[in-house]
Homo-oligomer: A and B are copies of this chain.
Amino acid sequence: MTLHDDIVAMGQRALAASRQLALLSARRKNGILQSMADQLISDSPRIQQENAANMEAGRQAGLSSALLDRLQLTSARIEAMAQGLREVAALPDPVGRVIRRWTRPSGGVRPSGLQIVKRRVPIGVIGIIYESRPNVTADAAALCFKTSNAVILRGGKEATRSNSAIVQAMTTGGARKGLPADAIQFIQTHDHEAIRELVQLEGLVDLVIPRGGEALIRAVMEQTKVPVIKHYKGVCHVFVDESADPDMALAIIENAKCQRPGVCNAIEKVLIHEAIAGSFLPRMVERLQARGVELRGDEAARRIVATIKATTEEDWTAEYLGLILTIGIVPSAKAAVEHINRYSSHHSDAIIAASATAQKIFTDEVDSACVYVNASTRFTDGREFGMGAEIGISTDKLHARGPMGLEELTTYKYVIHGTGQVRK
């Protein structure tokens, strides 16, 4: 068998499994998830053993300590993974839910009297392509399974043995309670061609979700024949309006930049209304420099605080994922909107303002998935939004935008009941 044949066969098995998955009741699925969680716990020693081999190879390959930390599985982390599965089991199941139900008129222009139900159904087969953290394996598989989708997982090569052990625990535990074979499949090979083969499976794979760095996602986009939901990066802004409460603005900026700078909903840019820049900017610089943040700014900012470094054009679109922040001074809320619509990654952007007018301009006109007023962009997260879990965040506009929970892993179909109606 060639790699091509292998991946096609996986897709065909996944499609067959998806037909069975669509028929499982919520209760049955939740029992399977509980059994998967139990098995993760009882397989914990074996998973840690496999993980130790990945860790050793990672150290030899010179992975950074940050990456090694992301890779490592302790018994506490495996317990957290199992707990995650139990939480997914506890969430309401969107599959089968009626979105809308209506009856067409029996008289008038188009008198059919048909009864139409728009009903949530699984998408079918989902491919998940991700990088190093092995807990994504359990999370993604659980969310796809909960929504009755078959899933084909392709993780980072550093974590293959760990991921494989996790999948084995889930399928073994799940099978005991009736998990269909091939509902959760894992691509073992490190060959990059496997990704190309996977995203070419038009007609077998319905959706691909890549999770990882921009390079991974660009590679997927160049090769795909299958719909993809993604975000390339998070270039998030805070705009401090002239009407802002400066203390609130400082607290939000510090939180959005420093609380966890390596994530996509951390901010990379601050825009300040020129009317308050003279008083606000020096305070902000002091506060952020105390947290070790490197500050870059446009000319207007540097005229106010000389220690700010000069920006390049690239700074405005850069996702630093670290303690760097670029600062611009703008003449109005409208100008802030224009800047953000030009440079933002359309992920999460915030205004700090007391003025209802400025708030309205900002929320009406900023074309991003999540637009905040007087709050930190760090809240863009499925759990923080109350979705219960998150398969990823989309900066696309079709199907799903912003945090994607269970509902976003479903589609719908129309079921139409008649009594013999024909079209005139």
Contact = CB atoms under 8 A, between A and B. Distances in A.
Interface in A352-367: 363-365, 367
Contacts of A248: 420
B420 A259 contact: no
Given A114-B379, A415-B363, A399 B401 contact: no
A110 to B, nearest CB: 6
Given A255-B423, A372-B418, A373-B418, A397 B104 contact: no
Interface stretch (A60-68, A161-169, A383-391): A383-391
A336 to B, nearest CB: 14
Nearest to A102: B386
Nearest to A341: B19
A154 to B, nearest CB: 20
A398 B112 contact: no
Given A23-B365, A114-B379, A384-B112, A255 B422 contact: yes
Contact of A421 (B110, B369, B375, B383): B375
A417 B124 contact: no
A229 B397 CA distance: 13
Contact of A364 (B23, B363, B367, B422): B23
Contacts of A23: 364-365
A416 B365 contact: no
A46 to B, nearest CB: 32
Contacts of A229: 398
A216 interface: no
A207 interface: yes
A382 to B, nearest CB: 11
B401 A412 contact: yes
B416 A371 contact: yes
Given A110-B383, A397-B206, A423 B370 contact: no
Contacts of A373: 415-418
A22 B110 CA distance: 33
A133 interface: no
8 contacts: A23-B365, A255-B422, A363-B415, A372-B417, A373-B417, A379-B423, A398-B411, A401-B414
